[in-house]
Structure 1
Amino acid sequence: MKKQISTNQAPGAIGPYSQAIEIDNLVFLSGQLPIVTETNEFPSEDIVDQTKCSLENVKAILEEVGLGLEHVIKTTVYLADIAEFAKMNDVYASYFSAPYPARSAFEVANLPKGAKVEIEVVAVKSL
């Protein structure tokens, strides 16, 4: 059965979608923008700060269902500028450990609200 996951520890959806959906042993998180929950703003215009914020939002949603980043099996990283890949990757590497999740990362034309990064993940409940 499909179950909606929601927490006020991460920004709410800005459209007709869920923060996450749990089905069977999997949790699918919608893309997380670098929005600080308390201010509803970006932490800064810096890709490092924005990547940290997106990943903190991912962590908050996972924690709502008792999971952590070690449960993530797949990520997709959307970047406004692929030239900032190395900076994003350094932050990303500080959040995950081996065995690392499978990942796709690519540049997109635009992201909502003018963000520099958006990160979505799929997690598995039992490892």
Structure 2
Amino acid sequence: MREIVSTADAPSSALYSQGVKAGGFVYVSGQPGIDPAHGALAGPTIQEQTRQALANCRAVLRAAGATWDDIVEVGVLLADPDDFAGMNEEYATSFPGTDPTRYVAKLGVELPGVLVSIRMAAFTG
């Protein structure tokens, strides 16, 4: 059984679901560093956008009934690989010692001003 997850607390699109619950897992679509309250990027730096992208993921997880401790995998897509250190700086504040698996790759499309997109999978049992 599959359940679509949505929340006003994260950016959305008519082209994909913010999240999907299936078989004890929650899959969160790639979230950019866009502040849903204003519909604009959280700022011009990789740290600001990483912080907001993680907050957006957290909002989708919460809407699905999952917690931060349920995360098993994180995927990070960077527009510029040179932003890796700055992204890691902010990312580390969200996972102090409870690190899920993670991959980092180059973002395959260019979106004006978007520096990062973060997706997640969580297991709720």
Quote the sequence identity (%). Answer: 30
In 2, Cα distance between the equivalents of 1:87 and 1:121? Answer: 20
Number of residue pairs aligned between Structure 1 and Structure 2? 125
CA 80–118 in structure 1, closer or farther in 2 if over 3 Å, else same:
same
After TM superposition, the structure 1 stretch with the greater mean CA deviation from structure 2, 113-122 or 55-64, is: 113-122
SS of the residue corresponding to residue 56 of structure 1 reads helix
SS of the residue corresponding to residue 91 of structure 2 reads helix
Residue of structure 1 equivalent to 2:32:
33
Matched, 1:61 2:52: no
CA 111–68 in structure 1, closer or farther in 2 if over 3 Å, else same:
farther
Residue of structure 2 equivalent to 1:12:
12
Deviation at 1:113, TM superposition (A): 4.1
In 2, Cα distance between the equivalents of 1:109 and 1:29? Answer: 18
- Unaligned 5+ runs, structure 2: none
After TM superposition, the structure 1 stretch with the greater mean CA deviation from structure 2, 38-47 or 62-71, is: 62-71
- Unaligned 5+ runs, structure 1: none
> How far does the alpha carbon of each residue in 1:62-91 deviate from its partner, in whole angstroms, 9 at most, with x for none?
111222221110111000111110110111
1:29 partner amino acid: V
Backbone CA RMSD of aligned residues:
1.4
- Trace 1:1-127 onto structure 2 (pairs within 5 A): 1-13=1-13, 15-126=14-125
CA contact (8 A) 1:111 1:117 kept: no
Hey, which bits of structure 1, 4+ residues long, moved more than 6 A? none
After TM superposition, the structure 1 stretch with the greater mean CA deviation from structure 2, 49-58 or 94-103, is: 94-103
Deviation at 1:51, TM superposition (A): 0.2
CA contact (8 A) 2:25 2:123 kept: yes
Give TM-score scaled by structure 1 length: 0.91
In 2, Cα distance between the equivalents of 1:99 and 1:21? Answer: 23
SS of the residue corresponding to residue 40 of structure 2 reads coil
Deviation at 1:12, TM superposition (A): 1.4
Deviation at 1:109, TM superposition (A): 4.5
